[in-house]
Structure 1
């Protein structure tokens, strides 16, 4: 009888969310262990209580219970380390050296993790990137792919080795994301979460056991995934479908905007398609704006704090059904 493979211990560097919850659960279900999760530090508010920080801590607890509390092993015992700017890598290194895990696995961390810290782990560091590398390296891959209308070609998740440069390490695994996932935010989150669960539970495990080696990324001139204000502007030559995808990915942050007269009006979601394009200018009234696109005239709500709250409530409802 063969001896079961020893569990692999990991430190994860990520925010605990609907994106990352399934990959953490998948890692445990594979028989591995979590030694620590390094999360973004909450910004203290001088001399006053922060409702925003309280909500974030509450959300972390809910996500941990939702995803890890339902595994066969129950909620695991691990260290939760808050880490924020200015980054004290020496202090974090001392904390992680005491933990002594096999591998570091990262998702959506905004800075290069020093090689001295990655060297603490026998299997180094692995990163999850939400595109099919080498395409759309950089901080805003989902946003920029949708802006460029390249989501069907390069949408997906890549697991790669971490190096001193952003998103350039050897590729261990890739999982594409289906075109239909880009039609709603919740579908997009679920598709990426499932892809990350697969590559972490299967490919990261295989790599740490010496069963998988990486392949160098192709060289060439690839789009750097960063967006600016110009990428958030809606124009009349865009299709209804494209603007719907822009709202899905960019709508809550950083927003999408339409020029109405001399003002840039922030748009919310489409509530109606009026018919063919009319050639008339945009009309804004009663919390909505009607305007032409390439294949029709539509009505979008204008963005507001009330709309933001309603969208978030709907997303929570949609997630729970």
Structure 2
């Protein structure tokens, strides 16, 4: 088919590569404008743009698609490009812009979206993070026929995937990106025979965008909740804890099976071993296993302790009052 592809991050790039490998003609790629990134804050092309340029695909980067919006000249140029592409179908994956109705109406076979959840659960921007944070045991990918709503369209294909107890957002992202690419290729091959299925009206929830402020570990939560958030925020934004004024990123942690000492204060270090730093949470203990100091590398606790004096009784700081853990 002649395909317009709209996407921006690595998750979308994986689908673009699989569509290309399947022999589809990518006649236009839409992606977000280049953004400052890295320590030097130099403009950097999105993973989708990098792949498209490397394979000779035409690229457009409108700041908006709203003809009556802030950048009408961008939207008008995009409209001309979309119409000139004469595509059969449009595939949208984590693009980052809302598609107005005129875009949805351009391709005669419609717009297909790859969404990394079992819709209608976790509609929205961060379905992988939120599934892990919530403790879901399964997630998956839905291929959806897009409409004007936010992830509300009929589903064409749905496939479930288990979430491992050790899955981070990074590891689950890679599994779902591969699955989504394979499923959209399957959907295009079977487009004439697929039956659109309306989403259930029950079980709807939204995966709101991850904010950096969510990184701070709240030691008044249970160990299970804290560990899920450590997994969910790896690799972004990274769970953070402050010890002696230094902000440490916590990249790996588990729930301890050791009982919490009586009267232990939330955030206090109750034990230090070669493999972990045990920290009191609400009615439970978190064993920190991998940390990172500012400007440093991720380190196993054994390596971290060689350069940092950590002792039982020290307390991770909090801006809020810290209650007793029991």
Q: Verify same fold: TM over 0.5.
A: yes
Distance 1:206 1:114, change over 3 A: same
Question: Any idea what the Cα deviations from partners look like across 1:212-270, whole Å, max 9, x if unmatched?
Answer: 12111111352222156568643355335x54442233144344345879x89563223
Alignment partner for residue 294 of structure 2, among 304, 307, 310? 304
What residue number does 2:110 align with? Answer: 124
In structure 1, stretches of 5+ residues that fail to align are: 1-7, 70-74, 312-321
What residue number does 2:197 align with? Answer: 215
Alignment partner for residue 80 of structure 1, among 51, 59, 63? 59
The structure with the greater share of residues assigned to helix is 1
Q: What's the secondary structure of 1:200's corresponding residue? A: helix
Q: What's the secondary structure of 1:217's corresponding residue? A: coil
Alignment partner for residue 23 of structure 1, among 3, 8, 15? 15
- The answer to whether the Cα contact below 8 Å between 2:227 and 2:286 also exists between their aligned partners in 1 is no
CA distance in 1, matches of 2:36, 2:285: 47
- The answer to whether the Cα contact below 8 Å between 1:251 and 1:267 also exists between their aligned partners in 2 is no
Matched, 1:9 2:2: yes
Alignment partner for residue 282 of structure 1, among 260, 264, 267? 267
Alignment partner for residue 180 of structure 1, among 137, 144, 164? 164
Distance 1:196 1:125, change over 3 A: same
Q: Which structure's CA Rg is the greater one?
A: 2
Cα deviation for residue 157 of structure 1 reads 1.1
- Give the TM-score of the pair, scaled to structure 2: 0.71
Q: What's the secondary structure of 2:176's corresponding residue? A: helix
Alignment partner for residue 32 of structure 1, among 7, 10, 24? 24
Question: Any idea what the Cα deviations from partners look like across 1:168-207, whole Å, max 9, x if unmatched?
Answer: 0000111222222852454212211111112111013321
What residue number does 2:239 align with? Answer: 256
Aligned structure 1 segments of 4 or more residues deviating by more than 6 angstroms = 271-275
CA distance in 2, matches of 1:148, 1:205: 35
Cα deviation for residue 292 of structure 1 reads 1.9
Q: What's the secondary structure of 1:222's corresponding residue? A: coil
- The answer to whether the Cα contact below 8 Å between 2:32 and 2:62 also exists between their aligned partners in 1 is yes
Distance 1:245 1:161, change over 3 A: same
- Give the TM-score of the pair, scaled to structure 1: 0.72
CA distance in 1, matches of 2:278, 2:111: 49
Q: What's the secondary structure of 1:131's corresponding residue? A: coil
CA RMSD after TM alignment: 3.8
Distance 1:83 1:289, change over 3 A: farther
Question: Any idea what the Cα deviations from partners look like across 1:145-185, whole Å, max 9, x if unmatched?
Answer: 222222x24x1111101111100000011122222285245
CA distance in 2, matches of 1:216, 1:163: 11
CA distance in 2, matches of 1:281, 1:102: 58
Task: Point out the more displaced range, 120-129 or 297-306.
Answer: 297-306
In structure 2, stretches of 5+ residues that fail to align are: 65-69, 301-326
Cα deviation for residue 282 of structure 1 reads 2.8
CA distance in 2, matches of 1:269, 1:92: 41
CA distance in 2, matches of 1:218, 1:275: 39
Equivalent residues in 2 for 1:33-48, closer than 5 Å = 33-43=25-35
